[in-house]
Amino acid sequence: MQQIPEPDTLSLSWLRAALADEPWSRRAELTGFHAEPTPIQGLAGRIFRVFLEFSGDGEGPRSLIAKFHSGDPDSRALHTLRRMYATEVAFYRRLSGSVGTRVPHCYHASGSRGGDACVLLLEDFPDSCVADDAAGLSLPQALAMADSAARLHARWWNWRDSLARETWLASWTEMMELDLAAARLQSGRSGEALPARTFERELGTSSLRRLESAPVTLLHGDLSGKNLLFDDGDEPVLIDWQLACTGPAAFDVAHLVAISLNPSGQAGFTTAVLAAYHACLVASGVHGYTHAALAADYLAALEVQLAHSRLVREHLAPGSGVEQFVGWRADRFASALESARAV
């Protein structure tokens, strides 16, 4: 299906065609729908809850989530440059059924050839809730998220050749370089040349080398409470795969701790989260990666992500909402790093 609809051009015929491969579509005729914006909207696009109507005793879902590219041209250009639309479409098409943890079922995923437009139809969890990163996860939520991350990482642990065949999947360092490129585009400086070796120098050669020698796995890339749905299931649902990439597992773990744990209680929570994550990693079949190695990689990942956030912030337009958000992230990484060094 080549056509990528906008929210206001979504039609019954398009939905019928998009959902035609679902087993229940042969038994349930879709007769109507209506779409409403969700209360929480993403930075990269527009999110709608689509309510479906079926004839008779149709067995299809009563609602689903529709994700579209951004309607703002500037935002759309930034997220296209970061490959976010193309990455999430490819993830749901190619990997979502084998990630090792709970993710939404994908009914349909399509994107434009240039990667600047997309639409995804995903399983809805209407009774779920997301955590508040600003306030911080509760300890049970943090431990549940650590388990989900460990199962994801264990499933793809050191599968370098298999991941390399997914040519759409960037490495973690490529994703950080795209972040910097997007920051320069946002501030109107994309045409300016950067000093040689800026990226490596600013992020710290020793920390980068340590992480580059660590085991490679599939990363979520934005592991935090806002991307985890908690419902009545045995495990939470991991959503928003626009920044999926390959790299060291500690990159995800450091992001989770820094962004989603309250700095005031971080020291105690961090110890528990790292212990739970490592235990689940071992239980999921990963051997030869010690807790000490995890702790050292975690520290290096905090150092790199703090330096990266500060570097990106320097290239953003001062006073913009994005600059303020990246500054908040830098503060969280700094707090997590201070806590880690004190242990």
Last residue of a domain, one of 107, 123, 139: 123
Mean pLDDT to the nearest integer, 11-32: 92
Task: Name residues whose C-beta falls within 8 Å of residue 229's C-beta, 6 or more positions apart in sequence.
Answer: 125, 128, 129, 130, 236, 237, 239
Asked if the model's pLDDT at residue 2 lies above 60, the reply is no
| Domain match, 111 and 170 both | no
Instruction: Report the CATH number that the domain containing residue 257 is assigned in CATH.
Output: 3.90.1200.10
Q: Is 341 exposed, middle or buried (0-12, 13-18, 19+ CB in 10 A)?
A: exposed
Report the domain count for the chain.
Answer: 2
Same-domain status, 118 and 166: no
Instruction: Give me the chain's average pLDDT, please.
Output: 90
Domain-ending residue, one of 93, 108, 123: 123
CATH of the domain at 71: 3.30.200.20
Residue ending a domain, among 70, 89, 123, is: 123
Asked if 22 and 114 sit in the same domain, the reply is: yes
Average pLDDT on 249-260 reads 95
pLDDT, residue 122, reads: 98
**83: pLDDT strictly greater than 70:** yes
Predicted structure pTM score? 0.93
Percent of the chain with pLDDT over 90: 68
Q: Tell me, what's the pLDDT at 3?
A: 80
Residues 6+ apart with CB under 8 A from 201: none
Query: Does residue 52 share a domain with residue 70?
Result: yes
Does residue 24 lie within any of the structural domains?
yes
Give the per-residue pLDDT at 1: 47
Domain that holds residue 153: 129-342
Strands (E), the chain: 30-37, 45-54, 63-69, 106-111, 118-123, 129-130, 216-219, 228-230, 237-238, 245-248
Q: DSSP for 197-257?
A: THHHHHH-HHHHHHHHTSPEEEE-SS-SGGGEEE-SSSS-EE---TT-EEEEHHHHHHHHH
* Burial group, residue 114, by CB count within 10 angstroms (0-12, 13-18, 19+): exposed
Across residues 61-73, what is the average pLDDT? 95
Judge whether 259 lies within some domain. Answer: yes
**E strands within 55-134?**
63-69, 106-111, 118-123, 129-130
Between CA 109 and CA 91 the distance in angstroms is 9
User: Is 222 in the same domain as 252?
Assistant: yes
One domain, residues 170 and 314: yes
Pick 195 or 121 by higher pLDDT.
121
pLDDT in tens, 96-125: 999 999 999 999 999 999 999 999 999 999
Residues 258-301 have pLDDT tens digits of 999 877 765 678 999 999 999 999 999 999 999 999 999 999 99
153, 120, 121, 165: which is closest to 251 by C-alpha? 153
